[in-house]
Structure 1
Amino acid sequence: MMSVSLRRLIIVPFFALALITGITMYFVATTTMSNIADKVGLQYIHEVESRVQERVRSFMSPLLRIVEVNQQSFLARPNELNDLSKAAIRFHEQGMPYRQMTFISIATSDGRYLTSVQPPVENRSHHIATNFVHKPLTMEGFEYDPMVGIGNKRQQDAEFTYDPRLRPFYQSAVGSKVPVWGEIERYYGYDALGATLSAAIYDDNDELLAITATSVALNALDEYLKSLEIVDGGYLFLAEGSGDLIATSSDTELFFTQDGESKRANLHEHQNDFFRLAGDHLEDGSYSLSYNGNEYLYYVHPVNFEYGETWLLGVLIPEAYHENLLSDYNRSSVLITLGLFIFISLLGALIAWYIGKPIQLLSAATSNKRLESIQALPESISSVKEINALNQGLKEMADDLSDVMHNLEAKVAERTILLQGENETLLESSIKDELTNIYNRRGLKQGFNRVVGVENEQKNSVTLVLCDIDHFKVFNDKYGHSEGDQALIKVAESLKMYSRAGVDIVARYGGEEFILVFSNMSLDHVLERLNGIRQELKNTELAGKERITMSFGVAHHESSDSMQIEDLINKADEKLYEAKNGGRNKIVS
């Protein structure tokens, strides 16, 4: 049988149905053009909104990250608050890459204040301002010194009394454990708005130590909206939920002076009619608005930031823009689509007639849901090359699939065993301390829950020991971290030596602190083992033939009913504190 190329079948003349199909498509296109126009308008708006959203988030992201970094840094090293000059270097380096970052500051609970300053609109270099160098609560400006942070006094800057604890950025953050947004306000003496984020720093007793804050100038966002090329008669704006404007694509001012007081421009009271019209619809969604007999498509959507701050992004364009665009497109596309539709329809009918039978054979074989039916198909079922190729492909696929199915169970079992081994390895590494190869805090909690589950059934006792290496910092400073790590490893080995493998728990709690958990063991036997650990450490030489000692706090619970690990740790910590204050190298139970 002579084979015929499928491509040759496509080249078939047609004409009969062109007029009828063209008229039908014209009326359908005319009826649906309005709906399509709205969709095109919304698509345009969504594209603009996506660009603005991405720019705003990128612009505000450094503000969020800097506040978080500084909060975590001071929480980790609260002693830095004793000498704020070191913070000047970090604040300066944080603000240098970002032109919009105006203030990066720290205010302590005793009133000391330091900030890295950059004017919001003038292209001047950073400098430092503090209120504690020469006179308490007296603000002065200083040049930045990369070696010590606070350099020479700036004679051009005025001195004035400044207590940061009375400022909104400080008071708004007090009492909150997460960063807090301040109100968007105009910078004093500058034609720019600024947004501030503040974060409180507390000690372990929840006593307020300081407030760190960062402020960003928003005038660059206003310049960005004005730079966007949107359709004629269209508007963009960023606003707060109250309607106070942050940035717009128009040339209107964002603030004005009334009765000697600076006020923010608001959508509800704006001199621009379109902004006032938009101010009546600030709920998330799209709207059709009418003004002077013209229709407008309006869309408003929230811009959400971390820690609860939300702005509104509004886009307003005249509907005439996308309706005119589609009207021109519709007339030309109808004729093109009509031709393609007729061509495809006729071609489909011809191909259905020509290749219907072999396709039915293939369909019947595949519908039978048996590989044998496909494998039994003849080698050639059509004069069309492509259908024969499809037939050969199905037959080869059926053969391959048959082979795969024969080996599938073995491969699945092999893969399952491999995955189980990998999962066990990952679980083991997640609960072990990398240095000492004993449990970390997560492993401690899992092990404790297992012990308590067993002891709850048997009503047995549990003893938790919190131990700490005496004067470990001195040893670490004297011999270095490498020898300090070796000392931690030796201690872990000694603790494991005097615990029962598979029964008791040995964990590194943090730094030079360790925890032992003994289940179903009398207090006397626990103390006997702890003394054995002390003797073992006494006989162990470390760097420089040094020997280390440990202090132990013991919390013994006779019955495991209603037992919480936090309660035992707190009790053991109190005993450890007594051992430390009693001269160290002691066991207090």
Structure 2
Amino acid sequence: MVQESHEVISRKHSLTTRALRLAIFRIGLVSLSAGAISYYVNSTSIEREVTGQLLLSTEQSLQREALPFREIKDLQQNFLNEFKEILSRPGMQARLVNDFQQIFYRHEDGSYTQRPQLFEGQPLADGRRFAEMSATYAPDIAPNDDTKARFALSYILSHKYGSSTKGRLFNFYGVVPEKGFPIYQDADIAKVFTYSGPEALKLETYEFFERGFGTPGNDTLFTRMYWDFSNNAWMTTIATPDVADASGKHRILACVDVLLDELMKRTAKPAMHGAYSTLFIANDEGTLIYHPGVMEQVKSSEGKASIQSLKMAQYYPLLEAVPALAPGQARIVQTQDDIVAIGLIADTPWALAVHYPRKLMTPAVLDNLAIVVILGLLTLLVEIFILRSILQKQVAAPLFRLIQAARLLGISKERLRAQQLPTQSSDEIGELARAFATMAERVQDAHEHLELKVQGRTAELEKANRQLYELSNTDGLTGIANRRYFDEVLHSEWRRSLRAGTVLSLMLIDVDYFKKYNDHYGHQAGDDCLRRVAQALKTHALRAGDRVARYGGEEFVLITTTTGIDKALEHAQAICQATQDMALPHEMSPFGRVTVSIGLAVMAFIKEGTADELLKQADQALYSAKARGRNQVVLADSVVRKIV
């Protein structure tokens, strides 16, 4: 027995000695090889990771920065399309010339500006307001009717698009080639520009005017960046001319001045720590818009400084890469000092380059090298103390199975199987595993029972909520929507109509002589009558977006989106006729049957007015229908407010 123990000890000593010798050998081998290969491996992997992050963050920046410029181009194109469409309408020029006479007045020097107090919000005689709109027109070109019409229309549309983008764009203005422009912005230009003296306005010298009207094309152009002293900020002008006529002449130019400060601030802070950005025009010179180290030269050169003019040789590879760039996509350019991701901002002529200095990777490479060496040494040293198989077979493996079972207990719905736990062991771990198995079975039983109860209660609650919602929005008598639901839908449909520019109509419908019907036939018959009328209205809710509701008593309301006033009137008359065609007897009515009176109000896309005003117009129209003898449709007096 003693001999056997000694042999076991000898074997253990022999195994320990051999394991220690192997561990020492591995430690030495790892230490030597780690120093030889880790620098290369770490530097390559870090550079690959930096490159991937740089590409991703740069493309995200390119896409983010393109959004406002894409919006500006779309707005300008919409402005030009609407300008062309309105101007082509029959008789529109005379109306616009009349608008010109109302909006503008001529100064002694021959120039035109908007009339006093219009900028401050004073309405015209017809009630239209053009707050924050100002204008100036060159005195050396006397306007004819065509010029007046285009200038007035530019004024009206500039107010429409400028006010709709307030808070997002700095201004919006339309320029006529006769050297005049109206503009929507906080400052009144009529009080700033003059046509005499050293500071006289010479619109033809402005880059956007010269380039916009100097080419027969209608592509959007960006001016060279310039310093605006009134705003103390860098700016650029984005301009889109209309399609030129056969002689190459344009009639209007849509413009927006863009403040570049926010773009520069975002450019100055790339997503990757330690990186910096360069923003420049994608031309042969690489005209700079932003570079953290040369902004003084950019400002002193009035925005003309470029990569070529400043002889920034380290950035010449960026200029060489520009012709191959695709908008919104970044590519990597390797320079001696930096890893650079460069791409074009879509819908702009600008290139964005994000530079990551290579020297920033050196600490990370050394840190990774130290971590690899230290972890390797620690791992090998730990091996010396856990070589015995008992730790692996009788402790580590059973505990690992037990840990897995504990994790599965919280995340898996399947029951634990016996082979998943070390329950066959006769030691303390086996006892723990058997106790755990019993506990797991109880927990899983309780969990399943609780899940069933929660599912049942959730289904009941969802059903009750649906019923409650339907009850709260449904009229109990007629089964259609009630007044509460109508009030919500009216305002939401109003806002949707404003956004979409569609025609919204509202019918207020009253059952004629209903009190007499109730008195003669009784309230039960009156209720049946209201239900019949409600069903007839539902039948005439022609589109998916139409809404019919009981407004109160014998009054109903129908909201529709139609293509025009005539269609809305035809729709209302059809409802009036359909009610009469039901041939529901009404001896107390002069018509001998149940009829309805309808007040119809229609509003097109406007900048002023409210949903409540639409309802008020319908109510007044209904009152007129009753006063005129009932059983008819009356269209509200003020049915459409046009933009011009």
TM-score normalised over the length of structure 1:
0.50
Question: Larger % of strand: which?
Answer: 1
Q: Whose Rg is larger?
A: 2
TM-score normalised over the length of structure 2:
0.47
